[in-house]
Chain A
């Protein structure tokens, strides 16, 4: 965490997503997702779906298919990696993998120096601080409450 020594910054629109930095609120979102899944699963109880494919009409077919295939894909890919992962310079120098992108095609700007720097909010513990302002944010230690 490179910015623990001072308040973090966020663009105005990002305030709606600051929950992603708070483990407590992320937990709440996950519980919400769990509740939604439960509702969708139970929906099959009283809604008769028209099945186009044999077996598709079974209770919870799509829910289970989603969970199982996602898990299988991720774990399958993970084991595939043990076979096919090579170092980044494996094809060098005849590939772009280890090259840095030429600076002429880029415009690397830090948000504090960007055109919208004046609008940046000061953020601490995943919450917007009053009287913020990116460039002039006060230095406040902030270590604890981050994932």
Chain B
């Protein structure tokens, strides 16, 4: 197929044309391009398309197989839904960025070689930062800078990794890589940064809440799931991922629980959901990889839904802080119901989407003997209920009445949320719809009595625990403030000690130079003194004394020669 007609290039072309269109047409293009991209994807069919030879490298811009298709499909849905949600946006920068970003992410999952992957990898970084800068405040600018530096660092690691890998193997194909060499390790780290591995995660919680109302919805879909795809493609069955994933599911829960900014709560929760997917990649069996793909698919929908509902609240009230909200259900009931659907989906209640995807990963971990990891995922499931299932809807729409009575979200936001909510329920009720898209043949039945029973026991008793904690006053209240995370190292500690270190180095350097200059001055002064009229060097030397000096020098040479 013609390169220009492949989905990523359709997005890029549309993004390039967008600034020349009137406002209403731009919003329509944002809806039309994802549909055109989907049509193009299905018109291509499985196989390699759009190969381009560049300086001896064969770049594959459209590798269509089951694994890349499911990600490209859900990315298209996400772009379409965010297009509806952002119907009111007239800011050309955000619209261009959305298209370029979605196109780059789709390009990333369709890339058949590492070089084109690198190009799209950087494309997502550059396009997405505009969604943060579009907030147009000094804080957002600084946050965007931090975000960009880390994203580009990931790109650099990928580039160095692929060069080393090419040097080792002579191949740029993006197939299964495995952690086998320095090159693959560097690429693993590059993917790990975008996938928000523990201690590489803070860019996510730092930047997503800083983006615009609609920008956060867009951001939540692409970068991290593209990274999950690349891990699934290159590192399936790499055992360390099981443990990385298990840690990822657990630690963000605690931060989400006490975070006040609800969009940051959702960013932590996103991190925790990525953990489930990474565990699936690490296990690497067909069932587990299906779980990862299915969970990414469901997760993009319900996470977008949650970001949409909190975004609608922000749009109407000017804040997304739990301490400032509460009691909004009375005048924003549609938003509230959609938020509840998203909350039920992420908490994996039966009949909602999370249930039919998360249980694949849990089953895979149990079947393959990862019992401790299974336990961690179980605890994390209760944790998901606490911060996304309860905290988000409860503290926004119920809890203590903030007295705010904002109008319901605008019609287009309601439509976007309702469509997404219906999709979450449809997948939950008819899992076959989703399973048909999965990379491997599945024979899995989520709705067995066992599955439903244990999940309901887990969730209902966790709800009971919530009631107990609220009633006994043990539940932590929502308070204003920020919580330290590992980013304090590069946001506070390094900047605070850096001036001291610089000052110490400068003063040491100055002292050293001063000492050297003083020494040099002393030598020159001495020479000058000796050269004054009548001084030793200015005097005429007699033949005797010259001969004496020559004899002394010759004796010295003789002695030196005798030394073995």
A residues sitting closer than 8 Å to B (CB atoms) are: 1-3, 8-14, 16-18, 20, 30, 33-34, 36-37, 40-41, 43-44, 47, 49-50, 52-54, 56, 60, 62-78, 80-81, 83-88, 90-117, 120, 123, 146
Contacts and interface: CB of A to CB of B under 8 A. Distances in A.
A63 B449 contact: no
A108 B261 CA distance: 19
A112 B405 CA distance: 8
B481 A88 contact: yes
19 contacts: A1-B403, A33-B460, A44-B453, A49-B450, A53-B366, A53-B375, A62-B458, A66-B457, A69-B382, A80-B258, A85-B483, A90-B492, A102-B137, A107-B315, A108-B315, A111-B405, A112-B405, A113-B407, A114-B406
B383 interface: yes
Nearest to B403: A2
B467 interface: yes
A110 B375 CA distance: 46
A114 B315 CA distance: 13
Interface string B180-206: 000000000000000000000000001
Contact of A73 (B383, B407, B479): B383
Contacts, number: 267
Contacts of A71: 465, 468-469
B336 A17 contact: yes
Given A53-B374, A111-B407, A37 B333 contact: no
A137 B460 CA distance: 39
Of B261, B333, B479, most A-chain CB atoms within 10 Å: B333
B408 A70 contact: no
B233 interface: no
Interface residues of B, number: 86
B330 A123 contact: yes
A52 B369 CA distance: 9
Interface string B454-467: 11111111111111
A95 B460 contact: no
Contact of A109 (B213, B407, B464, B468): B407
B513 interface: no
Given A1-B401, A73-B257, A65 B139 contact: no
B456 A111 contact: no
A52 B363 contact: yes
A11 B457 CA distance: 34
A72 B462 CA distance: 11
A9 B405 contact: yes
B254 A80 contact: yes
Interface in B76-97: 88, 91
A109 B143 contact: no
